[in-house]
Amino acid sequence: MRYIEPHGHMVSRVTDDYIDMVTAGCACVCEPAFWAGYDRSSVNGFYDYFCQLTDYEPKRAAKFGLPHFCWLCINPKESEDVKLAEEVVALIPKFLDRPNVLGIGEIGLNKNSRNEMKVLEMHADLAARQNQMILVHTPHLEDKLKGTRLIVDVIKSDRRIQPGRVIIDHVEEHTIQLVLDAGFWAGMTLYPESKCSPARAIDMLENYGSERLWLNSACDWGVSIPLNVPYTALEMKRRGWSAEDIDKVVYQNPIKFLGQCKKFKLPKG
């Protein structure tokens, strides 16, 4: 099997995970910027993190033959401090030319607060000005439907942004249609405890089709399974999906979306 892990927080994983992913057929991993498990105390913390995502982590992945890409932003959980967010948004352009940077993400909302909205708009503006793709996180804790609607409205209202270059991640049964109808891509995050189980993800694929959809494990330092994409592919096979249809969801779809960024290239063979 071949697959892509389009959303994995590898800085929180051990080398055994890299070995397992490559052994399972992972062709590349993409790592959106996220919360560190604690709030960073200054913009310098983000500078160091962006160096880690664009320098150290791709080298670590390369030791296992795995291409590594990333997305940059200040995540919604740290967006209450608007001044800090302004400093981080001003810092990001210095990193956008690095060879493994795909765009701005994972931006979005956590508690749907006023400050989070301001920072979301700042990121959308940055992406539009710099012609960058966008990866969006939708809230889990508060109202996901309301948060998803707010995000869709903010991004749709910026005419400079093409919806086909935006993926809205962590969709569930009550948000997937809204995201697809707005012209965006949608991501389903496979978690053992929350978010979406493999069975629910496959139900959604069977109900909504597999256009503009991808699967990811989002593996981080919470309870998560780095191999959840291939595990879900196995479950699809059990449910009678053809190898070709599985390949479309776990390999071809991510390439179609990510390939809109010229820097996204997989080694031949």
Residue numbers of the site for Zn ion (CB under 5 A)?
34, 218
Q: Minimal distance in Å, beta carbon 218 to Zn ion?
A: 5
CB of 165 to Zn ion, least distance (A): 19
Q: How many angstroms separate the CA atoms of 184 and 77, rounded?
A: 23
Looking at the Cβ atoms of 34 and 185, the one nearer to Zn ion is: 34
Q: Minimum CB separation from Zn ion for residue 32, in Å?
A: 5
Distance (Å, whole) CA 113 – CA 134: 20
Least distance between Zn ion and beta carbon 237 (Å): 27
Residue in 128, 173, 136 with CA at minimum distance from that of residue 152: 136
Task: Using alpha carbons, select from 249, 194, 207 the residue that is nearest to residue 3.
Answer: 249
For Zn ion, the closer of residues 182 and 218 by Cβ is: 218
Closer to Zn ion by Cβ: residue 34 or 184 = 34
State yes or no: cis peptide before 173, omega within 30 of 0.
no
Helix/strand/coil for 63: coil
- The gap from C-alpha 111 to its chain's centroid, in whole angstroms, comes to 19
Nearer to Zn ion, 3 or 34 (CB): 34
